[in-house]
Structure 1
Amino acid sequence: MSATVTRTIDRLDRTAAPPARPGWRRTLGPDLGASLVVFLVALPLCVGVAVASGVPAELGIVTGIVGGIVVGLLPGSTMQVSGPAAGLTVLVADAVAKHGLAALGLIVLGAGLLQILLGALRCGTLFRAISPAVVQGMLAGIGLVLILGQLYPLLGGRQPVGTWDKIAGLPGLLGSALTTTPGLSALAVGALTLVVLTQWRRAPKRLRVVPGVLVGVVTSAVVALLAGLDVQRIQVGDLLREIQLPDFSLLDAGILGSALVFALVSSAESLFSAAAVDRMHSGPRTRYNPELIAQGVGNTLCGLLGALPMTAVIVRSAANVQAGARTRAARVLHGVWLLLFVALLPGLLAYLPTAVLAALLVHAGWKLLGVRGVAAMLRADRAEGAILLLTAGLILATDLLTGTLAGLLAAVLKTAWDVSHLSVQVTPHGPEDEVVVLRGNATFLRLPRLLAVLEGLPLTKHVRLDLRGLRHLDQACEQAIEHWAARHQATGLDVEVVKE
């Protein structure tokens, strides 16, 4: 995106008049109803993301509360709902494994401050200038890692640490799930959750007012309780006891690197979500820079509380829009309901089997994987599809940062190759003359082909090298042409280079 276009977008972002707001009495009912729907969707996801990340379940709810009440009040987006996201579980689990749980708050705090800085520098719109192949590959890679990890609690097994250990352990996990009582119980509960979750859209329209996530969780939890199934359940402690201030004595280069990765990934995910949510409704559009600052404020507060990082979450945001929300009051109220639930009814969480939450995250991972979108990109453009597969594969094999950076590098190289198209046309002009016409962009990427043509010309003829059709001539190609011409002229041959 050019600097001029970016400045124009930012100027419009600053000066656009806010749309007229409907009276609060007319919006209170729809917003109240939507907030309850979002709360019911968000509660199990907050807990599930925390458990999958390897941190206490309460920290996921803290992030949901901050995302609802604090970020919900800030300008930027109206319909977007923030909280802990399945897409960040890979990052959080890796950071906790490397630096310990005590360092999580410090990492999230650093990420939040970086987001505020990026928003203040008006970098929000720049996150939109990322190759779709890299974005889709990043989401697919996160989805693969999420599915691979959550298969273990879904089937009643203990999750290994490394990716290859998880893959190698799948046959044993399947055997255990089919031959042991805890394995069969977890499989039954998880499968029931997935069936209800995926098939709820076939229910009568009046019943679909209740979110499928809630129906799946409640149904499976009740069945597991009434049947007395031997399944592992969520361990719930004191919310205030889990909150801890960041320990600045742990600050080092590794912590700063993790904070940078958290900031970039969570910012990109939030702004990608904003673009998707804006297509779902006709209300006010997202203002990207204020939204980035709002996300930064939320993550800064989460860091100070030692909680999970947050992003804008497409599942909750879509539920908010579909439930008929009119203003940002809906997302703020959903945070209030989360706070009241933790204060008044925390014991209910102890009835949730971990297999149920694993099923929710496997479903979320499958949606992130986006098999149809991957197949469509592979059919439409093999090079873009290769970048997608490279990004996703490296994320699965190494980590999110390595895979994403490799994908971005591959996308840049592909773009450079595409825009450096060079036409080299050789036309004989009589027995003594040879004319070489160059058109397009002469860059170092096309240098081997250019030199092959020039060095293949007859040494006994006058050569006229016409460069007037070039749109761009980089230094590498220019020096190569000059050296070739000087070398031939030194042998007594006639070489003419025409530039204008």
Structure 2
Amino acid sequence: MTTQLESPSPARPGSLGEHLRRNKSVFGFDLAASLVVFLVALPLCVGIAVASGVPAELGIVTGIVGGIVVGCMPGSTMQVSGPAAGLTVLVASTIAQHGLAMLGVVVLGAGLLQIVMGLTGVGTWFRAISPSVIQGLLAGIGLVLILGQIYPIGGLDQPSSTGAKFARLPELFHAVFTTPAGRAGVTIAVATLLVMALWARLPNRLRIVPAPLVGVAFAAVLTYVLGLPLETIRVGSLLETLNVPSPADFGAVTSFAVLGSILTFALIASAESLFSAAAVDRMHDGPKTRYNAELVAQGTGNAVCGVLGALPMTAVIVRSTANVHAGARTKLSRVLHGCWLLLFVMLLPGLLSYIPLATLAALLVHAGWKLLGVRQVAALFREQRSEAFILVLTAGTILATDLLIGVLTGIVAAVIKTAWEVSGLSVEVEHEDDHARVRLHGNATFLRLPQLQDRLEQLPRTRSAHVDMTLLRHLDRACHQAIEHWAEQRRKDSCDVELAKPGTS
């Protein structure tokens, strides 16, 4: 008897063999992308922490949590989370108001609120916010970021309020031209930005290392070689830097100021993350973001950051874009980027002490300029003046007050603008001899009440009048009462008034 050996059959679609082969084929892409994202994230994590007024290590902790914790959760596949430049102003303001010890409580509360919002389906509603408000939000953050970070470049401490930042500009200019630290800081900042700009113009095959890291490395070497009198990053132990909230800190949660900070963090972080998701989804052909699941993931990450006393996180468009362009295929790339951050801060923390603060400030000024979106703003002014007004109003209010008031102001302005446009009302008037006819088209809402009343009151006195409302798409109570009141007054003057209401023929 002979035995016939069967050749191994090809793996069926969806089988374990195919799954392993597919994972092996994409692992190389994800590994390479994770290294690129790590190199982009490292200087930004440190710079955002320093600009926020917290130890540099807390920014890296947030990057680690954003990579490992949020990276493993469902929601989005390609976008990468970490500390965001847009929250530096909010963090600095919170620390100034409540102290560093309360930062963890606020971030934890914001994370829990994000989880509740995601579970109740609020995440989808963030897609309904006017793009002009979002552009205004980003532009306002960019303005505040630039205005604040020019002070560390000049060797001065950043003022706490917007008014003080403007008031101290003469002092800054004086320091830049007369003090060694000011001159050295400007030199290093300009050198950093020039290197980044030149690096970005190189062919893609040569730009293996991201431009921000090249700029930071060049500035660090230049500062060390020339012995420039610049303050550098102070690095300590990661575990010793953790700012875990104590039970006594949670007693202040009932304060309206703290609750307001929690709400502000949750709304701004959620908006930035979900708007980033919408942008990143347009960059790749993979699975699209599930908004509510992503909001839960972001909330979980912020809750963990709150427990550790670290910075709040959002999905960051810069890192996410680098992840997509580097060829990432799965979530593994963003998880690995968090692992590289953890290994770096454990094994090579001393390298951070060579980076001058002026260089990190230059990075954030560059990030603020990109947030401004000057070209997009100019295009909006050319195409839609009303939308541009909402953008400027939002950005200006953020600069003058704070993020939450600025965003709410922009949303209210956008709602009013939309209501005004939607409530278009046409009032056609005809009169001959002793008869007048009024035809109403469109939407008769309280916003158009002055227009409607003016046209009705201008009608000449006649023996009869007919008001045709059958073509109205909407008639609210205010306009309805105004028409009824006008008809009643005319009837007292012996005028026969006939009202044809919507829904009648």
TM-score by length of 1: 0.94
Identify the residue that residue 232 of structure 1 maps to in structure 2.
Answer: 231
- Cα distance in 1 for residues equivalent to 2:410 and 2:463: 47
Report deviation, 1:291: 0.8
What is the CA deviation profile of residues 346-385 of structure 1, one whole-angstrom value per residue up to 9, with x for unaligned ones?
1111111000100100000000010011111111111111
Identify the residue that residue 274 of structure 2 maps to in structure 1.
Answer: 271
Judge conservation of contact 2:302–2:312 (CA < 8 Å) in 1.
yes
1:121-160 alignment, distance < 5 Å: 121-160=120-159
What is the CA deviation profile of residues 407-452 of structure 1, one whole-angstrom value per residue up to 9, with x for unaligned ones?
1000000000000100000012x41111000010000111111111
Indicate the SS of the match to 1:412: helix
Indicate the SS of the match to 2:428: strand
1:38-117 alignment, distance < 5 Å: 38-117=37-116
Indicate the SS of the match to 2:183: helix
Identify the residue that residue 205 of structure 1 maps to in structure 2.
Answer: 204
Worse-matched range after superposition: 162-171 or 68-77: 162-171
1:307-322 alignment, distance < 5 Å: 307-322=310-325
Counterpart check, 1:299 vs 2:295: no
Which among 446, 451, 454 is matched to residue 452 of structure 1? 454
Worse-matched range after superposition: 199-208 or 158-167: 199-208
Name the amino acid aligned to 2:265.
F
* Unmatched runs of 5 consecutive residues or more in structure 2: 1-13
Report deviation, 1:206: 2.2
Worse-matched range after superposition: 350-359 or 28-37: 28-37
Indicate the SS of the match to 1:496: strand
Higher Cα radius of gyration: 2
Indicate the SS of the match to 1:464: strand
What is the CA deviation profile of residues 231-252 of structure 1, one whole-angstrom value per residue up to 9, with x for unaligned ones?
0111112221221322212222
Judge conservation of contact 2:436–2:462 (CA < 8 Å) in 1.
no
Report deviation, 1:76: 0.9
Report deviation, 1:205: 2.8
Indicate the SS of the match to 1:427: strand
Counterpart check, 1:465 vs 2:464: no
Report deviation, 1:260: 0.8
Identify the residue that residue 409 of structure 1 maps to in structure 2.
Answer: 412
Worse-matched range after superposition: 82-91 or 21-30: 21-30
- Cα distance in 1 for residues equivalent to 2:200 and 2:51: 26
Identify the residue that residue 425 of structure 2 maps to in structure 1.
Answer: 422
Judge conservation of contact 2:463–2:494 (CA < 8 Å) in 1.
no
Name the amino acid aligned to 2:235.
V
* Unmatched runs of 5 consecutive residues or more in structure 1: 1-16
Name the amino acid aligned to 1:488.
R
- Cα distance in 1 for residues equivalent to 2:338 and 2:424: 53
Name the amino acid aligned to 2:215.
G
What is the CA deviation profile of residues 159-199 of structure 1, one whole-angstrom value per residue up to 9, with x for unaligned ones?
11111111122222122112221111111111111111122
Which among 222, 243, 261 is matched to residue 264 of structure 2? 261
Identify the residue that residue 440 of structure 2 maps to in structure 1.
Answer: 438
Percent identity between matched residues is 64
Indicate the SS of the match to 2:70: helix
Which among 349, 353, 359 is matched to residue 350 of structure 1? 353
Worse-matched range after superposition: 354-363 or 191-200: 191-200
Identify the residue that residue 248 of structure 1 maps to in structure 2.
Answer: 250
Indicate the SS of the match to 2:205: coil
Identify the residue that residue 399 of structure 2 maps to in structure 1.
Answer: 396
Identify the residue that residue 10 of structure 2 maps to in structure 1.
Answer: none
Judge conservation of contact 2:435–2:462 (CA < 8 Å) in 1.
no
Report deviation, 1:125: 1.4
- Cα distance in 2 for residues equivalent to 1:26 and 1:319: 20
Identify the residue that residue 5 of structure 1 maps to in structure 2.
Answer: none
Name the amino acid aligned to 2:72.
L
Name the amino acid aligned to 1:456.
Q
Name the amino acid aligned to 2:464.
H
Identify the residue that residue 476 of structure 1 maps to in structure 2.
Answer: 478
Identify the residue that residue 498 of structure 1 maps to in structure 2.
Answer: 500
Indicate the SS of the match to 1:478: helix
Which among 289, 292, 312 is matched to residue 289 of structure 1? 292
Indicate the SS of the match to 2:158: coil
Report deviation, 1:397: 0.8
- Cα distance in 2 for residues equivalent to 1:245 and 1:229: 36
Identify the residue that residue 118 of structure 1 maps to in structure 2.
Answer: 117
- Cα distance in 2 for residues equivalent to 1:54 and 1:480: 58
Identify the residue that residue 166 of structure 1 maps to in structure 2.
Answer: 165
Cα-Cα RMSD? 1.3
- Cα distance in 1 for residues equivalent to 2:224 and 2:284: 40
- Cα distance in 1 for residues equivalent to 2:312 and 2:157: 25
- Cα distance in 2 for residues equivalent to 1:283 and 1:264: 27
Identify the residue that residue 30 of structure 1 maps to in structure 2.
Answer: 29
- Cα distance in 1 for residues equivalent to 2:100 and 2:232: 21
Identify the residue that residue 3 of structure 1 maps to in structure 2.
Answer: none
Indicate the SS of the match to 1:324: coil
- Cα distance in 2 for residues equivalent to 1:350 and 1:140: 32
Aligned length: 481
TM-score by length of 2: 0.93
Report deviation, 1:492: 1.9
- Cα distance in 2 for residues equivalent to 1:426 and 1:346: 79
Indicate the SS of the match to 1:355: helix
Worse-matched range after superposition: 487-496 or 363-372: 487-496
Judge conservation of contact 2:37–2:322 (CA < 8 Å) in 1.
yes
- Cα distance in 2 for residues equivalent to 1:460 and 1:283: 69
Report deviation, 1:218: 0.4
Report deviation, 1:32: 1.1
Runs ≥4 residues deviating over 4 A = none
Which among 360, 363, 366 is matched to residue 363 of structure 2? 360
Name the amino acid aligned to 2:69.
V
- Cα distance in 1 for residues equivalent to 2:86 and 2:146: 11
Report deviation, 1:386: 0.6
Report deviation, 1:460: 3.2
Report deviation, 1:457: 1.1
Report deviation, 1:458: 1.4
Indicate the SS of the match to 1:61: helix
Counterpart check, 1:371 vs 2:355: no
